[in-house]
Structure 1
């Protein structure tokens, strides 16, 4: 009876993982597209990621407050609403041809995603038996991997249209050049309009759904202030480790995904359209298969042990990505995508383990640490502008070292005397 009660809510929650995975994985296409349209440096183009991921830092605590006060369902509806609004704002952004407008629209989308992830991650983890929480969250996150496969392929066909060549642009007058680039930039309008409509439909479905509200403990003090809950969450050692680890992991993932097309064109000498195919059929597909494979392996290997093994492999592949060239370099990065695929949900589920009534704020803090996706890619982009984008892979390498430390030591739960 309980399993049947949780089945459809789990299916709907899983659909959210696909949707935010899709919009995130349009970034590898959006970055080179806007870089060309606005004649940006790699560092300036990487602000696409910063606009998205800084919202996680700013909105995570308000998201936790919404969850604590109004519950998961209302949080999901609010998050979907902001997601849709940000998507629709791409139309006036393209019309006005202002890069800052694009960044603002992405920021609003990310505010919605922050609320969605704050709700959906713990909800998927808690919809069922505690002993299978990590398995359940990895399974739901696997559909995030499916989105990582489809988004670059679909996005490249719609957004990365072949416009005028660089040689033709150089021969044009300034006004003609602006018109040509404006025409290319406008290709983002249709995909984000369709995305916004789909998200609104999902929001309407959720508004009519009867979702079971998850109660972390039966003895939760409803009168306790959110400040007390927030401060107490920091007293869990394994949660603090998870916050730091997630910061570095997300930074690594965004570096690998969002800068892949720029990396591939340099390291392997291929064009953007071909690089986008590698991004989808290579990076995205490897990420998705890695999620399903990792979920299967967790039936036989403890989550923290698998996390440690995978992080060591990612460290090695990062070295290969720095030192090799051609298809070897491409397949090294694709390998990183496969082996880092389980990291986010595994860090998340280990981080909120045994938090009880502090799960909602613990979840908010881990989601807050997704700001690593705003901080670390610009560092990699800065290195790329000053030296070479392959040298920039030292940033993901360091990130995977931090994840390894969490897997070996930081995940261990120490009884929290303050909350006991």
Structure 2
């Protein structure tokens, strides 16, 4: 992994800003969580659409999502440096403008149509999301008491899940529902003219997304966000040499936990439509299957609200262990069952996946104290694990789509290991907190 990221994204208390001020800021940031969740999950309906338009294999299809998540690895360090250079609020605006530019580029890619331009524009959108993520996740984690950080981030991430829940309906109606490939029976071969016509269905939805992103950028540019200081967070250079991120077990094992969890989450979401469309599972069209995807992401939203409440009373690591066991069980059912049972078990994994990212993230930065911002950067970089969804695409091509979900089940076991042992802090430092 690359050198530690040093950002200035963690908030410092500033005169004139009350808890209510931070509450308003969190409310606005929740809209960002919503939008990047929404845009990310549009990919789940976009991928089967592109597979049909460009006649792709599963490996080529999942390669599209791999490009998306490679952006997290490539853009994390530049994002951190940009935040340090121009400040938190301006960086949020830049991130939204980058996403809007990528969305407009998707309209160009659809009008050509071009597989290469599509990849480039999705990469650009993901770079914008990375810039937002590098700042927003650690910000939410430190605003309040350290012991309720997991609960707080799960609550805000529920807005992310609200976006992911609505996106499949949006994509199913405006992309799959308006294309020949999305409404045809499984196995129907499209003519070249039909593929060209289908490509055009992407123009309207991404145009709407671009407009919303531009409006949101204007709102955030004009909103009086609390100042984000760095003086209280940066250690003197000589003092920093006395501390090592790698002395903190919860971070060392947390980085691969995020990386591995993303393989599981993205693999399930991206292959869901193709899986439930199969004749021996639910025998649906891609448009119909896209609607069922809403239940998967809806389960994640419900789970995050419930998890936020549960973690007010129970230890976050223990809750994570229970959820990882549940995820492993339903994935094994998905692999070996058939018909509606296999479909609903795959939907149910969304409920168990719900708390994993925010809980691993907050456990990973626990006890890092003034090293929190560097550890947060590494955890955000680990989102690049979603790029390895291409490995599941290869397994699906070689051994069948259903058997490829054994990889997902294996990922759940690592999360269980992290919850039971890897998340225990070592050499904990005083936590940063903003009241």
Q: Same fold (TM over 0.5)?
A: yes
User: Does residue 97 in structure 1 map to residue 113 in structure 2?
Assistant: yes
Which aligned pairs between 1:8-19 and structure 2 lie closer than 5 A? 8-19=24-35
Structure 1 unmatched runs, 5+: none
> Are residues 71 and 3 of structure 1, via their aligned partners in 2, closer, same or farther at CA, if it must alter by over 3 Å?
same
1:121 to 119, 132, 137: 137
For the Cα contact (< 8 Å) 1:126–1:214, is it kept in 2? no
Which aligned pairs between 1:176-191 and structure 2 lie closer than 5 A? 177-191=191-205
> Are residues 404 and 213 of structure 1, via their aligned partners in 2, closer, same or farther at CA, if it must alter by over 3 Å?
farther
For the Cα contact (< 8 Å) 1:64–1:361, is it kept in 2? no
How far, CA to CA, are the matches of 1:287 and 1:3 in structure 2? Answer: 28
How far, CA to CA, are the matches of 1:145 and 1:99 in structure 2? Answer: 29
Other-structure match for 2:222: 208
3-state DSSP of counterpart to 2:312: coil
Q: CA deviation at 1:241?
A: 1.0
User: Does residue 137 in structure 1 map to residue 149 in structure 2?
Assistant: no
Other-structure match for 2:274: 262
How far, CA to CA, are the matches of 1:217 and 1:27 in structure 2? Answer: 40
Q: CA deviation at 1:268?
A: 2.4
1:239 to 228, 245, 251: 251
User: Does residue 393 in structure 1 map to residue 405 in structure 2?
Assistant: yes
For the Cα contact (< 8 Å) 2:155–2:305, is it kept in 1? yes
Other-structure match for 2:11: none
Q: CA deviation at 1:43?
A: 0.9
> Are residues 354 and 167 of structure 1, via their aligned partners in 2, closer, same or farther at CA, if it must alter by over 3 Å?
closer
Q: CA deviation at 1:213?
A: 3.5
1:58-98, Cα deviation, whole Å (9 max, x unpaired):
11122222334443223212211211111110111111211
Q: CA deviation at 1:243?
A: 0.5
- Bigger mean CA deviation after superposition, 150-159 or 355-364: 355-364
How far, CA to CA, are the matches of 2:308 and 2:374 in structure 1? Answer: 26
How far, CA to CA, are the matches of 1:359 and 1:88 in structure 2? Answer: 36
Other-structure match for 1:65: 81
1:351-386, Cα deviation, whole Å (9 max, x unpaired):
1122233222211111111111001x1111111111
Q: CA deviation at 1:167?
A: 11
Which aligned pairs between 1:305-384 and structure 2 lie closer than 5 A? 305-375=318-388, 377-384=389-396
How far, CA to CA, are the matches of 2:246 and 2:131 in structure 1? Answer: 20
How far, CA to CA, are the matches of 2:230 and 2:149 in structure 1? Answer: 13
Which aligned pairs between 1:27-46 and structure 2 lie closer than 5 A? 27-46=43-62
1:195 to 209, 229, 232: 209
How far, CA to CA, are the matches of 2:387 and 2:127 in structure 1? Answer: 13
Q: CA deviation at 1:265?
A: 1.1
Q: CA deviation at 1:166?
A: 7.6
For the Cα contact (< 8 Å) 2:150–2:358, is it kept in 1? yes
Q: CA deviation at 1:416?
A: 5.8
> Are residues 214 and 125 of structure 1, via their aligned partners in 2, closer, same or farther at CA, if it must alter by over 3 Å?
farther
For the Cα contact (< 8 Å) 1:139–1:291, is it kept in 2? yes
For the Cα contact (< 8 Å) 2:366–2:428, is it kept in 1? no
How far, CA to CA, are the matches of 2:347 and 2:374 in structure 1? Answer: 34
Other-structure match for 1:303: 316
1:246-297, Cα deviation, whole Å (9 max, x unpaired):
00111100011111001111232222122111101x2121111111111111
> Are residues 80 and 168 of structure 1, via their aligned partners in 2, closer, same or farther at CA, if it must alter by over 3 Å?
closer
> Are residues 378 and 302 of structure 1, via their aligned partners in 2, closer, same or farther at CA, if it must alter by over 3 Å?
same
For the Cα contact (< 8 Å) 2:185–2:285, is it kept in 1? no
CA RMSD between the two structures: 2.3
**TM-score calculated relative to the size of structure 2:** 0.88
How far, CA to CA, are the matches of 1:217 and 1:326 in structure 2? Answer: 58
For the Cα contact (< 8 Å) 1:82–1:111, is it kept in 2? yes
How far, CA to CA, are the matches of 1:265 and 1:219 in structure 2? Answer: 51
How far, CA to CA, are the matches of 2:59 and 2:272 in structure 1? Answer: 14
3-state DSSP of counterpart to 1:26: helix
Q: CA deviation at 1:216?
A: 7.0
How far, CA to CA, are the matches of 1:219 and 1:105 in structure 2? Answer: 35
Structure 2 unmatched runs, 5+: 1-16, 430-435
Residue correspondences, number = 407
> Are residues 167 and 323 of structure 1, via their aligned partners in 2, closer, same or farther at CA, if it must alter by over 3 Å?
closer
1:313-351, Cα deviation, whole Å (9 max, x unpaired):
111111101000111001111111101100000011111
For the Cα contact (< 8 Å) 1:71–1:213, is it kept in 2? no
User: Does residue 76 in structure 1 map to residue 88 in structure 2?
Assistant: no
How far, CA to CA, are the matches of 2:63 and 2:70 in structure 1? Answer: 10
1:163 to 180, 196, 209: 180
